[in-house]
Amino acid sequence: MPRLETGRGVMGKNVVIVGAQWGDEGKGKVVDILSEYADVVVRFQGGNNAGHTILVGEDKIILHLIPSGILHPGKVCVIGNGVVVDPAILIEEIEALEKRGLFHHENLLVSKDAHLIMPYHKKIDNAKERLRGSGRIGTTGRGIGPAYADKVSRCGIKCGDLLREEDFRFKLKTNLLEKNHYLTTIFHEEGYEIHDIYHEYSAYGEKIGRYITDTSVFLNDSIREEKSILFEGAQGTLLDIDHGTYPYVTSSNTVAGQAATGSGIGPTRIDTVIGIAKAYTTRVGEGPFPTELDEEEEAHLREMGGEYGATTGRPRRCGWFDAVSTGYAARVNGMDGLVLTKLDVLDGLKEIKICTAYRYGGELIRNFPTETSILNACEPSYETMEGWLESTQGAKDFSDLPRNAQRYVRRIEELIGVEVVMVSVGAERKEAVMLKNPFC
């Protein structure tokens, strides 16, 4: 295919962005920077369990569903078939953007095949967590797992069903027969009246019906027209339903392969896969975390990094950079490049540790095991690097970074075997050093 040079890069390049850790790697900012080079931005999995805070002047907007590309005039944002959509949240986001004059109807498309999150999904999510007690997963409580469970059980209701009253009513009725029984007998919760949900969702349908379409057709047409597409992953590789630390994972595939399945394009259409990792590691919710620091030690990273969840406000667990798990993420995503975020959070530390292997059963292992019991028994083996007692902020070029910060980045590159293409050193869009633009 011929590639057309433009002022901004090469047209017709399709780039996938994925989290290389347990989510919250700062993908929102990277997507925001790279959206400038794309014509279309696509979400392909997850739902409103994700969230990133965007600063618009003094104003803070938290987007959970709509890609942040919506803030760039003229970019089309697509919610693909692999996403689960809570229509109330979608409408809230549209209205919040509209109020600030940042929303244009023609720039949002929602796949007719994306499944809906229903009120009973949220109730079941929370009730199941209560029942799990100390074995809870620490879900966001947004109904994500139960919505994907219904999709796989072949009883889910899709966004497209909102466009056909009879289909919607029939599917809702069938679901409620089962869900009400389940809720009342297993969880001793109240069930739902069909009319209540029907009216609520019909009103949603009226508001969002105009955006619902066959987005696979749109995306494939866009590819044919040599448009550039940015596929924006949510959560992170270690939360992937197949490749993550199961069962302490989310309910979708978060890896790069899902960009194709979750948007209705073929994998041959993807040009580049970029992983995003923090310069250290964080995790929200339960589950193994080999490099987690104890409460006292993690306080510095949490406070300096503002490590509190954008969706739930929960404090994030913090630890050192783990080259074992990030190397694994490089492998299962086929990563072509790595973006290292929040390097500035490490400014001023005398020493910085990188986990280069795990000690398990008297051996050193370098391949990431996903089993909870094995991971819990793994002891991180650290390499200690000298920190930099200067600020990285304001760096425009890689050579502007303190010498030891450069060494740290290069060491990570070496350990995981993937080239670093961008380093982020602050919350603002301009506080990033681009070494190689994935769209060029």
Nearest-approach distance from CB 239 to ligand IMP, in angstroms? 5
Q: Which of 12, 67, 82, 145 touches ligand IMP by CB under 6 A?
A: 145
- The answer to whether 52 and 68 have CB atoms below 8 angstroms apart is yes
Q: Which of 14, 140, 263, 437 touches ligand IMP by CB under 6 A?
A: 140
Nearer to ligand IMP, 107 or 326 (CB): 326
In whole angstroms, what is the distance from residue 361 CA to residue 372 CA? Answer: 15
Nearest-approach distance from CB 169 to ligand IMP, in angstroms? 28
Q: Which helix (H) or strand (E) holds 17?
A: strand 14-19
Nearer to ligand IMP, 285 or 327 (CB): 285
Q: How far apart are the first and last CA of the chain?
A: 15
Within 214-253, the residues that bind ligand IMP by CB under 6 A are 234-235, 239, 248, 250-251
Nearer to ligand IMP, 230 or 276 (CB): 276
Nearest-approach distance from CB 376 to ligand IMP, in angstroms? 16
Q: Which of 29, 123, 142, 302 touches ligand IMP by CB under 6 A?
A: 142
Q: What is the largest CA-CA distance in the chain?
A: 66
**How many residues touch ligand IMP (CB under 6 A)?**
20
Interaction pattern, residues 248-277, with ligand IMP; x per rule: CB under 6 A: x-xx--------------------------
Interaction pattern, residues 6-45, with ligand IMP; x per rule: CB under 6 A: ----------------xxx---------------------
Q: Which of 119, 138, 315, 387 touches ligand IMP by CB under 6 A?
A: 138
Amino acid in the structure at residue 438:
P
Amino acid in the structure at residue 109:
L
- The answer to whether 324 and 356 have CB atoms below 8 angstroms apart is yes
Q: Which residue has the tokens 């070029």?
A: 397
From the list 24, 32, 161, 322, the catalytic residue is 24
Nearest-approach distance from CB 320 to ligand IMP, in angstroms? 18
Q: Which of 127, 172, 284, 340 touches ligand IMP by CB under 6 A?
A: 284
Nearest-approach distance from CB 163 to ligand IMP, in angstroms? 27
In whole angstroms, what is the distance from residue 386 CA to residue 131 CA? Answer: 46
Nearest-approach distance from CB 90 to ligand IMP, in angstroms? 17
Nearest-approach distance from CB 120 to ligand IMP, in angstroms? 15
Q: Which of 114, 137, 241, 375 touches ligand IMP by CB under 6 A?
A: 137
**Sign of the four-CA dihedral 401, 405, 409, 410:** positive
DSSP 368: P
Neighbours of 418 (CB within 10 A): 25
Q: Which tokens in the block code for residue 320?
A: 């050192």
Q: Which tokens in the block code for residue 427?
A: 């919350």
**Sign of the four-CA dihedral 32, 34, 37, 42:** negative
Amino acid in the structure at residue 281:
T
Q: Three-class SS of residue 246?
A: coil
Q: Which of 41, 144, 301, 416 touches ligand IMP by CB under 6 A?
A: 144
Q: Is 370 in the site for ligand IMP (CB under 6 A)?
A: no
For the question of residue 242 being annotated catalytic, the response is no
What's the Cα-to-Cα distance from 359 to each of 245, 362, 374, rounded to whole Å?
Answer: 18, 6, 11
Q: Which helix (H) or strand (E) holds 365?
A: strand 363-365
From the list 32, 52, 125, 322, the catalytic residue is 52
For the question of residue 181 being annotated catalytic, the response is no
Q: Looking at 54-62, 136-144, 297-305, 395-403, which segment touches ligand IMP (CB under 6 A)? A: 136-144
* Contacts of residue 79, Cβ cutoff 8 Å, sequence gap at least 6: 42, 43, 65, 66, 67, 85, 90, 108, 109, 110, 111, 114, 215
Interaction pattern, residues 46-85, with ligand IMP; x per rule: CB under 6 A: ---xx-----------------------------------
Nearer to ligand IMP, 39 or 307 (CB): 307
- Beta-strand pair 281-283/317-319: antiparallel
In whole angstroms, what is the distance from residue 139 CA to residue 21 CA? Answer: 17
Q: Which of 139, 222, 237, 281 touches ligand IMP by CB under 6 A?
A: 139
Q: Which of 67, 285, 288, 380 touches ligand IMP by CB under 6 A?
A: 285
- The answer to whether 274 and 15 have CB atoms below 8 angstroms apart is yes
Amino acid in the structure at residue 107:
N
The residue sitting closest to ligand IMP, measured at its beta carbon, is: 285
* Contacts of residue 221, Cβ cutoff 8 Å, sequence gap at least 6: none
Active site residues: 24, 52
Q: Which residues bind ligand IMP (CB under 6 A)?
A: 22-24, 49-50, 137-140, 142, 144-145, 234-235, 239, 248, 250-251, 284-285
